[in-house]
């Protein structure tokens, strides 16, 4: 057993684009025979020096070699990957990487990059992507021979992070790379991707100059509102309205076209009618614009024609190497005083702060901005992502990860694009900055509405919950709650535990707060004697000095100041909720000052714990309490504060634990399992595996199927039972019968030869009513497993999230009570522990009321092996191991029954965005 890295991002999907070091984008695809001419031209136009470094000669490659480059039909023999850019209306290769098999899991790899694009990371990116493709097709090593003077190429090999061996030989260097993704290569690839993606979004968020294409003469039109917002927001750079019919709009000089405007435009906000959008993208590229926010609607959200137009738009944007937010979005904002960008048609700009926010719904985006402003939640950046054709939520996560102005990331999601990439990124980023997500469409009806609204697939909720849990994402249930949580995270430290002190001047709200805290999993435990004594020293006799601290209605500013200070500095407190219900409104401001002073004194004494205020007065939304540079979030009701704090505490506990590891096992023979599944699919398409096939697949992954042998006659069955020892179980094995129990195909606890004989006859008779004689393989005779706890382990294929691994107790626990937990594969050891500890029936595994406990270590190992099976054999779309009998500690587990369904991979829905 050894810890391994999760798959490289490049293998997460069909990855049809890559972001380069300079933030520009290239399209990627495998070469095809139709590329012959384009490749001839590419090598012809390479400088003679580049050709010499690539081919060791100034000559151009032979026709035969070019034909080989164009053949990517069998990736276990050779492959050529092209990086493409638009040039004169055509997509042309600007970099080419290829490998040819030289046998023994080794391939010879070589790369060439157009001279104009050197130094942008194209070579490293091609190597990384090619290695992922080669690895998926059985290769373990790349070999390359490079001229010793070709320093750039040698650096690419070293930078890749792959394990490298090199040998100099007469002016050449022979390099061998182990392309098994090692920790170092995965980290290197992730770092490159994060840096490049963040760089590619900088022109959007921090543009030096902005153009508004479609700034209309009509006041109130969308383009005009964007222009107004930019000017009113005080954008720190120049704004260029583009309109062929106007000289000046809102006091700003207009330009008839982008090419007539000054150079140096980083961002173009596009609000022209739909048919003009593609042409505007070309103009942007010609004028050197780096990024676009396309507000225009009428793309993928409107049906097939719109989808086709969006694809054409995306091809155009990526072909030119640009980045685009939208289409069908309301734009973006950056409140940084150095930038002050409001490139949206929202007139509302919330205060500057540390919360970054993306919204998939444009209309809701406006409401969200309004709410943030009302509640005084400070935003760093806001993006309305619209149809997410190019810039995805995942790209934004990487930008915010690197953005020093962002402390908390809020995502309002209606659909997921590339969920595997989201899982990887969220796992990493949540460890540094909290991510709070509100996922619309929890219910089936809600999901359908989300699907038709954004033209994207809605994810099933079990998978969403599992994914969020695994990656530390805090799930908010409402927009208000999203801000409740964000307000706490942006300004307060994370709590070290779940112990809450409540200070109040009114009993009712105090009790509400206690109930809400306990219901949410926080603890309002009684204070220690020392803390009670400190409180009793200044509070009146009728006050309660336990927890909550109820200072009664007569509590004045001084009581508040001292109670807050004591609770904040108490050793047995991890967080503080201060409730104030003004009894005498004339004292309100004085009391608030006292609370501020109490907090300041507590802070000065070194207490960093989070404080949440709850001011139950007034009709307007409560504003944060400002103490020096600190903002203490204030909530309308104690329940809001309690729920937000509980979610924050759960996140803090997740972050405090060491991250889980992915494990693999030396004895796994993934190829054997894959071959069985592929052969079954080749013969019959989608189907359940036979008993023998199932046995091979589980055996290849070291999964302990209970001993049993197929008997083909009653005599054989009796003989086998004698060998195994009575009692035995007899089970039908037949093609096309999956629910054996339902059709009378299972007999248990057979204690003597005559019962075995009778069971054989009855099972075959039942089977003959359903299938023909030649479909019946025989009857499986298995030992009965005495004792142990019955559990079930399964894999279900989620169309968007891929395989989900489920675990529960067997029998009625799963059927009646639905006591099953799921996690998205691949599972870390920590995910596995959470699966085991997440079920309500856990005490039964731990030895409830004198029963023997279960072998939890063995269950852990089975779950890790099942997770690898689900990932490494994507042909498996369903797997049920039920029951899995967990024996006493040290005795292992036995899989008593197993069903495996296979289907050609890739026939499920594929992710839509990166």
The helix/strand/coil state of 439 is: strand
**What b/e sequence results for 436-453 when a residue is b if at least 16 CB atoms lie within 10 Å of its CB, and e otherwise?**
bbbbbbeeeeebeebeeb
CB 156 within 8 A of CB 144: no
> Whole-angstrom Cα distance, residue 415 to residue 454?
8
Tokens of 701: 């992954």
Q: How far apart are CA 610 and CA 488, in angstroms?
A: 8
Helix (H/G/I), strand (E/B), else coil: 645: helix
Q: Minimal CA–CA distance to 863: which of 813, 819, 808?
A: 808
CA distance 606 to 603: 5
Q: For residue 828, which of 467, 474, 418, 473 has the smallest C-alpha distance?
A: 467
Give the separation between CA 603 and CA 207, rounded to whole angstroms. 39
Shortest Å distance, C-beta 223 to ligand COA: 5
Output the CA torsion 248→253→258→262 (10° steps): 170
Q: Minimum CB separation from ligand COA for residue 271, in Å?
A: 4
Query: What residues contact 385, with CB distance under 8 A and at least 6 apart?
Result: 325, 326, 329, 358, 359, 360, 391, 392, 393, 396
Name the residue among 776, 756, 754 with its Cα closest to residue 765. 776
Residue 79 β-bridge partners: 99
Give 357 or 825: the residue with its C-beta nearer to ligand COA.
357
Tokens (6 digits) for 842: 């856990």
**Residue 109 structure tokens:** 């790899």
Region for 137 from its dihedrals, namely left if φ exceeds 0, alpha if ψ lies in -120 to 50, beta otherwise: alpha
- Residue 480 CB neighbours (<10 A): 17
Are the beta carbons of 84 and 27 closer than 8 angstroms?
yes
Site residues for ligand COA per CB under 6 A: 213-214, 216-218, 221-223, 242-243, 245-246, 271-274, 276, 279-280, 295-298, 328-330, 362, 384
Structure token digits, residue 377: 């939640």
Given a contact cutoff of 8 angstroms between Cβ atoms, the answer to whether 58 and 51 are in contact is yes
Contact 243, 261 (CB under 8 A): no
> Rounded to an integer, what distance in angstroms lies between the CA atom of residue 8 and that of residue 869?
18
- For the bound state, the minimum distance from the C-beta of residue 301 to ligand COA, rounded and expressed in Å, comes to 9
What is the DSSP track for 85-143?
EEETTEEEEEEEEEEEEEETTEEEEEEEE-GGGTTSSHHHHHHHHHHHHHHHTT--EEE
Neighbour-count burial of 742, counting CB atoms closer than 10 A to its CB (0-12 exposed, 13-18 middle, 19+ buried): exposed
Q: How far is CA 444 from CA 438, 440, 449, in A?
A: 16, 11, 9
Contact 70, 80 (CB under 8 A): yes
- Between residues 211 and 517, which has the closer beta carbon with respect to ligand COA? 211
Burial bucket for residue 584 (CB in 10 Å: 0-12, 13-18, 19+): exposed
Q: How far is the CB of 27 from ligand COA (least distance, A)?
A: 24
Longest dimension (CA), the chain: 101
Q: What is the DSSP string of 777-796?
A: EEEEEEEPPPSSEEEEEEEE
Nearest position to ligand COA, beta carbon: 362
Beta strand residue intervals within 327-448, DSSP E: 331-334, 341-344, 352-359, 379-384, 408-413, 435-439
DSSP single-letter state for residue 221: S
Q: Cα torsion at 255, 258, 264, 265 (round to 10°)?
A: 90
Shortest CB 241 distance to ligand COA, Å: 9
657 burial via Cβ count (<10 Å: 0-12, 13-18, 19+):
exposed
Give every CB contact of residue 733 below 8 A, 6+ residues apart in sequence: 690, 691, 710, 776, 777, 778, 779, 780
Judge whether 487 and 633 are in contact, CB under 8 Å.
yes
> Shortest distance, CB of residue 739 to ligand COA, whole angstroms?
49
Smallest distance from the beta carbon of 697 to ligand COA, in angstroms? 48
């Amino acid at each position: 057993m050894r810890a391994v890295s999760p798959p490289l991002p490049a293998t997460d999907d069909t990855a049809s684009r890559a972001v380069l070091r300079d933030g520009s984008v290239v399209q990627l695809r495998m070469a095809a025979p139709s590329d012959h001419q384009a490749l001839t031209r590419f090598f012809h136009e390479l400088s003679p020096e580049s050709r010499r470094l690539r081919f060791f000669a100034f000559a151009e490659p032979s026709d035969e070699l070019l034909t080989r480059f164009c053949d990517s039909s069998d990736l276990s023999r050779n492959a050529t990957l092209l990086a493409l850019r638009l040039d004169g209306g055509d997509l042309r290769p600007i970099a080419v990487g290829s490998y040819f098999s030289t046998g023994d899991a080794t391939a010879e790899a070589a790369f060439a990059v157009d001279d104009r694009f050197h130094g942008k990371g194209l070579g490293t990116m091609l190597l990384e992507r090619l290695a992922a493709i080669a690895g998926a097709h059985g290769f373990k090593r790349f070999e390359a021979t490079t001229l010793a003077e070709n320093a750039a190429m040698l650096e690419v090999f070293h930078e890749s992070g792959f394990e490298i061996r090199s040998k100099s030989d007469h002016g050449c260097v022979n390099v061998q790379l182990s392309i098994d993704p090692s920790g170092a290569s995965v980290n290197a690839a992730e770092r490159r991707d994060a840096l490049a993606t963040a760089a590619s979004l900088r022109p959007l968020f921090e543009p030096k100059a902005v153009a508004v294409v479609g700034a209309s003469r009509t006041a109130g039109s969308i383009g005009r509102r964007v222009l107004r917002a930019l000017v009113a927001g005080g954008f720190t750079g120049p704004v260029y309205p583009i309109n062929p019919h106007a000289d000046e709009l809102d006091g700003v000089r207009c330009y008839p076209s982008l090419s007539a405007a000054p150079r140096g435009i980083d961002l173009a906000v596009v609000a022209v009618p739909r048919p003009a959008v593609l042409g505007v993208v070309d103009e942007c590229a010609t004028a050197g614009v780096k990024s676009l926010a396309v507000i225009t609607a009428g793309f993928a959200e409107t049906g097939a024609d719109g989808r086709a137009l969006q694809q054409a738009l995306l091809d155009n944007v990526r072909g030119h190497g640009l980045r685009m937010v939208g289409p069908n979005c309301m734009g973006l904002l950056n409140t940084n005083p150095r930038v002050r960008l409001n490139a949206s048609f929202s007139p509302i700009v919330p205060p500057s702060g540390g919360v970054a926010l993306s919204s998939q719904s444009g209309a809701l985006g406006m409401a969200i901005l309004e709410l943030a402003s009302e509640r005084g939640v400070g935003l760093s950046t806001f993006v309305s992502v619209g149809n997410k054709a190019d810039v995805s939520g995942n790209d934004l996560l990487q930008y915010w990860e690197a953005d020093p102005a962002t402390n908390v990331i809020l995502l309002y999601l209606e659909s997921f694009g590339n969920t595997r990439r989201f899982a990887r990124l969220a796992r990493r980023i949540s460890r540094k900055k909290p991510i709070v997500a509100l996922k619309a469409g929890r219910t089936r009806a809600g999901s359908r509405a989300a699907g038709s609204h954004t033209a994207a697939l809605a994810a099933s909720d079990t998978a969403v919950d599992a994914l969020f849990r695994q990656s530390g994402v805090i799930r908010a249930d409402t927009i208000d709650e999203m801000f409740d949580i964000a307000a706490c995270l942006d300004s307060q430290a994370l709590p070290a535990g779940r112990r809450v002190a409540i200070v109040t001047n009114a009993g009712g709200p105090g009790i509400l707060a206690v109930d809400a805290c306990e219901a949410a999993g926080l603890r309002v435990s009684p204070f220690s004697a020392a803390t009670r004594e400190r409180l009793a020293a200044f509070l009146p006799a009728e006050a309660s000095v336990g927890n909550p601290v109820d200072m009664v209605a007569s509590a004045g500013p001084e009581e508040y100041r001292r109670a807050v200070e004591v609770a904040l500095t108490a050793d047995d407190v991890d967080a503080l909720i201060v409730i104030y219900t003004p009894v005498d409104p004339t004292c309100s401001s004085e009391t608030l000052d006292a609370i501020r002073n109490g907090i300041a004194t507590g802070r000065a004494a070194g207490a960093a714990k989070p404080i949440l205020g709850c001011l139950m007065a007034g009709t307007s939304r409560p504003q944060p309490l400002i103490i020096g540079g600190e903002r203490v979030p204030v909530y309308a009701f104690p329940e809001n504060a309690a729920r937000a704090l509980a979610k924050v505490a759960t996140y803090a506990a997740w972050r405090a634990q060491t991250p889980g590891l992915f494990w693999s096992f030396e004895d796994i023979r993934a190829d054997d399992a894959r071959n069985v599944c592929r052969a079954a699919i080749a013969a019959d398409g989608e189907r359940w595996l036979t008993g023998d096939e199932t046995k091979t697949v589980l055996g290849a992954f070291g999964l302990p199927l209970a001993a049993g042998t197929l008997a083909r006659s009653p005599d054989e069955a009796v003989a086998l039972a004698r060998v195994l020892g009575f009692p035995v179980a007899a089970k039908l094995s037949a093609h096309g019968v999956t629910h054996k129990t339902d059709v009378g195909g299972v007999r248990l606890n057979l204690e003597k030869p005559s019962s075995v004989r009778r069971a054989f006859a009855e099972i075959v008779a039942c089977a003959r009513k359903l299938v023909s004689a030649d479909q019946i393989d025989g009857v499986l005779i298995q030992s009965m497993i005495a004792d142990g706890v019955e559990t079930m382990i399964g894999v279900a294929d989620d169309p968007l999230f891929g395989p989900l691994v489920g675990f529960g107790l067997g029998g009625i626990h799963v059927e009646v009570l639905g006591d099953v937990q799921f996690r998205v594969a691949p599972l870390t050891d920590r995910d596995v522990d959470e699966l085991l500890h997440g079920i309500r029936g856990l005490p039964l595994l731990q030895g409830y009321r004198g029963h023997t406990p279960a072998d939890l270590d063995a269950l852990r190992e089975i779950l890790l092996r099942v997770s690898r099976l689900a990932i490494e054999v994507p042909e498996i779309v369903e797997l049920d191991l039920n029951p899995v009998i967990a024996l006493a500690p040290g005795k292992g587990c036995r899989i008593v029954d197993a069903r495996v369904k296979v289907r050609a991979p890739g026939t499920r829905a594929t992710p839509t965005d990166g």
